[in-house]
Amino acid sequence: MDLGAPLNYHLIPGAGFYTFLYIGARFGAKAMKMPGTVQKYLGLTLLPHSGVSLVFTGIACVTLASRPELVGILQGTIAASAVINEIIAVVAAKNGFELAGEIEKR
């Protein structure tokens, strides 16, 4: 299965708003009235997941084949998230868990 091949990385700039929403889980946590630590740090802790998201992107793009404009948004959003993931996600997630008090600081 060619998980990353169908992603068009030229779509990243146009998906900025959707990427922000995808990564900005704080809004959902706030809407659900989650504790303050969850609202503040959930987005950081959700970042390291690009492999799973690439698999589901392929499935979603096949499902949305009749709506190419949505496929473009989805591919751009997931590609941007994967790029961010490879650069900062591991450190950001660790810091998020530490700041939330879920793991001890080292």
Q: What pLDDT does residue 18 have?
A: 60
- The interaxial angle of helices 68-84 and 16-23, nearest 10 deg, is 60
Q: What pLDDT does residue 73 have?
A: 83
- Residue 56 counted as domain residue: yes
- Residue 105 counted as domain residue: no
Count of structural domains, the chain: 1
How high is the mean pLDDT in each 10-residue block of the chain (106 residues)?
Answer: 52 64 75 87 69 76 87 80 74 84 81
Query: How many angstroms separate the Cα of 91 from the Cα of each of 48, 52, 63, 95, 98?
Result: 9, 19, 34, 6, 11
Q: What pLDDT does residue 2 have?
A: 45
Residues 6 or more apart whose Cβ sits within 8 Å of residue 16: 80
- Residue 2 counted as domain residue: no
- Residue 7 counted as domain residue: no
Q: What pLDDT does residue 3 have?
A: 43
Q: What pLDDT does residue 6 have?
A: 55
